[in-house]
Amino acid sequence: MMNIKNKNVLIIGPPASGKTTLAKELNKRPNDHVLLHTDDYIPHGYEQALYVLLEDMKKLQCNTIIEGVLGYRLLRKGVQLDCYYPDLVIEMQITADQQARIYQRERDAKKLQYLKGFAATHEKILHDYFELIGDRKPEWIKINVHNV
């Protein structure tokens, strides 16, 4: 397993790619991290969720493991506001077929129609982020999820 000691970790990826599962696994080990799930901030609304998350992060005096779909926007906004630069980004990757199987088996299959647009939005945000980041690029690990 990867070494996350003394690192702020961000886990991003499409819905159903295993972000939460990986975050929980990483957080099981003895460490000095606080685990934050960005989905917990969604009730604050699309715009406000990110700012509430950023405020909560300022209060922490330890390393974090942050996971969830808001992670894409967190990357970009963190650079725009010069307030968040993770040490390690773990990008979970899953095929559309794997995602569809999970949604049909475990989630709301009606939401499948929105996932392609969701992925396109995340790609645009990542593009924006890489245009802004300059030399402060984090370590970046891509994990391809298989056999789902």
Please give the tally of structural domains in the chain: 1
pLDDT tens by residue, 13-61: 988 888 999 999 888 866 679 999 999 999 999 889 999 999 999 999 8
The verdict on residue 106 lying in a domain is: yes
The verdict on residue 4 lying in a domain is: no
The domain in which residue 61 lies consists of 9-144
Evaluate whether 88 touches 141 at the Cβ level (below 8 Å). Answer: yes
The verdict on residue 41 lying in a domain is: yes
Q: What is the pLDDT of residue 72?
A: 96
The amino acid sitting at 33 is H
Q: What is the pLDDT of residue 56?
A: 95
pLDDT tens by residue, 59-104: 998 899 999 989 999 999 999 999 999 999 999 998 877 777 877 7
Q: What is the CATH number of the domain that holds 61?
A: 3.40.50.300
The verdict on pTM exceeding 0.85 is yes
Q: What is the pLDDT of residue 38?
A: 95
- pLDDT tier at 9, thresholds 50, 70, 90: very high
The verdict on residue 57 lying in a domain is: yes
pLDDT tens by residue, 111-125: 767 777 778 899 999
The verdict on residue 3 lying in a domain is: no
Query: CB-based contacts of 25: which residues, under 8 Å, 6+ apart?
Result: 1
Q: What is the pLDDT of residue 146?
A: 74
Q: What is the pLDDT of residue 44?
A: 97
Of 23, 36, 31, 35, which is closest to residue 6 (Cα–Cα)? 31
Q: What is the pLDDT of residue 16?
A: 83
The verdict on residue 89 lying in a domain is: yes
How many helices (H) and strands (E) would you count in the chain?
Answer: 5, 5
